[in-house]
Amino acid sequence: MILGGGASGLTAGIYSARAKLNTVILNEGAVGGQMVLTNEIANYPGVETTSGYILAGTMKKQARDFGCKIKSNVRITEYQLDNPVKSVILEDGRKFRARIVILAPGGKPRPLDIPGENDFKGTGISYCATCDGEFFTNRELIVVGGGNSALEEALTLTRYASKITVVHQFDHFQAFEQAVREAEANPKIEFIMESELRSFIGNGVLESVTIEHLPTGSVSEKEINGVFIFAGYLPNTSALQGVVELNDRKEIVVNADMKTNIPGVFAAGDCVAKKYRQVTTAVADGTIAALSASEYLQSLK
């Protein structure tokens, strides 16, 4: 039983079903996870630039073709993972049981948690360039963040927006050199460094933001049509608190074989404690989790 149908869960499904294990993926959202939010994936080896939606669709087909069952948009309300036969109960009362569970619930964008953020989600604030970029055609945008996602998504947004200001808290970027070079060379992109957004202001729709320049503490107001936030991520593990060992960042603790602290429970992808989160690292984790799970099942026999 694989809980999560993103890159890591689908890969675990491919390996598990191909090893002739009776495999089901239960996914709380749309199959593909964060991949379907990504307009362009240019760093997945062997596949020239593709959309995340297409890559996710291909992974899903591969898993299904090997016999993996996939149930999406389910809601899990109860986890019982301690026993040799583990079970989860869905909102509609259905119960699924398996001797092996692979946790692959991924993560979600980290909100800024500043005044106005909840008021303008969907009416000026977005966390997904692919989903919402087109709504801001010929408008001015702010992109918050300085990592790979922020700069790559800022570049994607230049297709629609007339101007983009990247607001970043440090004096340097954490993104790969290539993304930084491309963003700096793009005439539509400007930068405000060492600064953080402090509030969102508007009447029904977002009209402006306040920005603090961190070294001086001075706060200014900037009129803006939209803000895209790429300020890190939160693992989707709140439902797993007390069920499996998490670290202080709420990431699932695993060893090199993707084993958690519970025998027969493995974890993979963005939800585990690690430094780099990419599609490649998610599929690698999913591979290891499924192979370890298969070996564990053999050991039970």
Ligand X SMILES: Cc1cc2nc3c(=O)[nH]c(=O)nc-3n(C[C@H](O)[C@H](O)[C@H](O)COP(=O)(O)OP(=O)(O)OC[C@H]3O[C@@H](n4cnc5c(N)ncnc54)[C@H](O)[C@@H]3O)c2cc1C
Burial class (CB in 10 A: 0-12, 13-18, 19+), 9: buried
Determine if 16 is a binding residue for ligand X (CB under 6 A): no
Which of 114, 239 has the CB closer to ligand X?
239
| CB < 8 Å & 24+ apart, contacts of 215-222 | 222/142, 222/165
Contact 179, 158 (CB under 8 A): no
Question: What is the side-by-side strand order in the sheet with 101-103?
Answer: 69-71, 24-26, 2-3, 101-103, 265-267
Determine if 149 is a binding residue for ligand X (CB under 6 A): yes
Count CB-CB contacts under 10 A for residue 257.
13
Determine if 35 is a binding residue for ligand X (CB under 6 A): yes
Which of 155, 206 has the CB closer to ligand X?
155
Which of 96, 191 has the CB closer to ligand X?
96
Tell me the closest approach of the beta carbon of residue 189 to ligand X, in angstroms: 17
Rounded to the nearest angstrom, the gap between the alpha carbon of residue 103 and the centroid of all alpha carbons in its chain is: 15
Among 1, 8, 226, 258, binds ligand X (CB under 6 A): 8
Beta bridge partners of 195: 213
Report the helix count and the strand count for the chain, using DSSP H and E: 7, 18
Which of 13, 116 has the CB closer to ligand X?
13
Tell me the closest approach of the beta carbon of residue 227 to ligand X, in angstroms: 14
Among 18, 19, 43, 297, binds ligand X (CB under 6 A): 43
Pairing of strands 24-26, 195-203: unpaired
Binding mask 107-146 for ligand X (x = CB under 6 A): x---------------------------------------
Q: Which residues bind ligand X (CB under 6 A)?
A: 3-9, 26-29, 33-35, 37-38, 41, 43, 76, 104-107, 149, 152-153, 236, 239, 269-270, 277-280, 282
